[in-house]
Amino acid sequence: MQQKQNVTSLVWFRKNLRIKDNNALSNAINNSETVIAVYCFDPKHFKEDRFGFKKTEKYRAKFLIETIIDLKAQLFNLGIPLYVYNDYPETCIANLEAQFHFDALYLQKEWTKEENDAYNLVRTVWDEDFTIYQDYDQFLYHPEDLNFEIKNLPIVFTNFRKHVEKQSKIRAESKIFNNEKQQVPLKNTTSIPTLQDLGFEDFENHPHSAFPLKGGETEALKHLDYYFFETKKLGFYKKTRNGLIGKDFSSKFSPWLANGSLSAKTIYYKVKEFEALHFKNESTYWLIFELIWRDYFKYVSLKHANKIFKIGGILDKEYQWYTFEKDIQKWINGQTNEPFVNANMIELQKTGWMSNRGRQNVASYFSKTLKLDWRIGAAYFESMLIDYDVHSNYGNWLYVSGVGNDPRDRKFNVKLQAERYDSNGNFQRLWLQDSLF
């Protein structure tokens, strides 16, 4: 790391929209005299994809705006201005570079195609002697601590989990050591775009939404405290996590994890704190288990790169896939022959949320029953979900569609699933009746 004297650094926020446990931010502060931050609402993220879906629909857009409002306020408390643009990263960062002549750029390392493309365009801004610091800061188990090469990633999750639990350690959360608030009078006339600026109309959350929560690190930490310490619902997580109605049946951390306003390590160490203060059981472990699943899908994409977006998946399997528009639209609008599928799809359409149990069923129905091109379903999820994460989304769709990491290539029996998880029909009635109005 460089010396602090006269060093001006830029922190480019992308999917690490937090202050706590943020390597890029803490390293920039600890090694720079002046720190400036930037976030870009990339217009590419709000355009239609090849299947005709807007890449980011209104639910995630609203959550993102809330997140950036919170991030800007948190950074202001550190004396760091957040410049926010509704523009392409390479354009707004070039403008900042021309104004401030940075010595270093700090960011979280990404590796999927669109993120790589954006990074490569931004790199054209800098001189050759410009220093860029990147780090994998989105994992529970850091890639350098795996004790095996990424190319040797196990094809089965259980083998990966057993290995990391036994062989790897989870790093401490990163800290800001330079606590002096910088006193640099910087003029920041940028503003955070509104929903209308991004092409949407204002809307209120649906009264039945299972995720009625706001974006931003402040809300994330508040909810973590509520779920763990106020209500102790963490202690029942394994028993309730397959629920369908209400906000408390599962942890609901995924939207904040997806845009990085909460880190996996922060959750892990809070679980450990809960276990030390209260009790340790299968449920407290199971939340960590799910975080390891999240890591695994990130490693799958790190190993296989663009194959996670290919129709044959990471297995190069050939199936007969269809693209019947009528069937796709019936699935999207909750008009299939399966009421349980329909209820889940209507919930997604009206709230931007769907339970994990619901996602597995509607994805299996799409790819295994209707035999539709799974990439279309994955793209629709990308558009609609508040908690869309490229690795988990495509990893799960690969898995369910028989072209990923499921060694048994299972197909969900939707009727039996509905009987098991919605035996009284309350969930189906809630959304199927709602769709009539």
Q: Looking at residue 127, what is its pLDDT? A: 66
Single-letter amino acid code for the residue at 324: F
Taking the C-alpha atoms of residue 55 and residue 46, their distance in angstroms, rounded to an integer, is: 6
Average pLDDT over residues 23-38: 95
Mean pLDDT of 136-151: 96
Percent of the chain with pLDDT over 90: 90
Asked if the model's pLDDT at residue 408 lies above 90, the reply is no
* Position 2 pLDDT exceeds 50: no
Return the percentage of the chain with pLDDT > 70, whole number: 95
Instruction: Give the pLDDT score at 94.
Output: 93
Whether 409 has a pLDDT exceeding 90, the answer reads no
Phi–psi pair at 104, nearest 5 degrees: -155, 150
Q: How confident is the model at residue 187 (pLDDT cuts 50, 70, 90)?
A: confident
Predicted confidence at residue 432, as pLDDT, reads 96
pLDDT of residue 4: 63
- H/E segment holding residue 85: strand 82-85
Report the SS3 class of residue 215. coil
Residue 193 DSSP one-character state? P
Are 243 and 354 within 8 A, CB to CB?
Answer: no
pLDDT digits (tens, 9 = 90+) for 215-225: 999 999 999 99
Question: Taking a C-beta distance cutoff of 8 angstroms, is the pair 173, 166 a contact?
Answer: no
All residues at 6 or more sequence positions from 386 whose CB lies less than 8 Å from its CB, including other chains:
59, 60, 63, 211, 255, 258, 352, 353
Region label for 186, one of left (φ > 0), alpha (ψ between -120 and 50) or beta (otherwise) = beta
* Cα separation, 38 vs 11, whole angstroms: 6
Task: Output helix, strand, coil percentages for the chain, rounded to the nearest 5.
Answer: 50, 5, 45
- List, for residues 229-253, the tens digit of each pLDDT value: 999 999 999 999 999 999 999 999 9
Task: With cut-offs at 50, 70 and 90, classify the pLDDT of residue 407.
Answer: confident
Whole-number Å distance between alpha carbons of 149 and 41? 35
| Separation of alpha carbons 314 and 303, rounded Å | 10
Q: Which pLDDT tens digit goes with each residue over 79-121?
A: 999 999 999 999 999 999 999 999 999 999 999 999 999 999 9
d(Cα 343, Cα 355) in Å, to the nearest integer? Answer: 11
Distance, in Å, from the CA atom of 274 to the CA atom of 271, rounded to the nearest integer, reads 5
The SS3 of residue 16 is coil
pLDDT at 261 over 70: yes
User: Bridge partners of 8?
Assistant: 34
Q: What is the mean pLDDT of residues 138-166?
A: 96
* Region 1-30 average pLDDT: 89
126 band by pLDDT with thresholds 50, 70 and 90: confident
Q: Could you tell me if 96 and 239 are in contact, meaning their C-beta atoms sit under 8 angstroms apart?
A: no
Least reliable range by pLDDT among 66-75, 78-87, 381-390, 406-415: 406-415
What domains does the chain contain, in order, with CATH numbers? 8-137 (3.40.50.620), 217-305 (1.25.40.80), 310-434 (1.10.579.10)
Contact 334, 322 (CB under 8 A): no
List, for residues 305-314, the tens digit of each pLDDT value: 999 999 999 9
Task: State pTM to two decimals.
Answer: 0.96
Whether the predicted pLDDT of 363 surpasses 90: yes
DSSP for 124-189, written as a single string: TTS-TT-EEEEE--S-SS-GGGSSS-GGG--SSHHHHHHHHHHH--PPPPP-----PPP-------
Radius of gyration of the chain (CA): 22
Separation of CA 329 from chain center: 26
Query: Under a CB-based contact definition with an 8 Å cutoff, are residues 242 and 421 in contact?
Result: yes
Mean pLDDT score of the chain, rounded to an integer?
Answer: 94
Residue 198 carries which side chain, given as an amino acid letter? L
Contact 97, 124 (CB under 8 A): no
Whether 1 has a pLDDT exceeding 60, the answer reads no
Q: Per-residue confidence at 226, pLDDT binned at 50, 70, 90?
A: very high
Contacts of 166 (CB under 8 A, 6+ apart): none
CA-wise closest residue to 216 among 260, 264, 270, 251? 260
Report the alpha-carbon distance of residue 344 to residue 334 in Å, rounded: 8
Nearest one of 21, 17, 24, 20 to 60, comparing CA atoms: 17
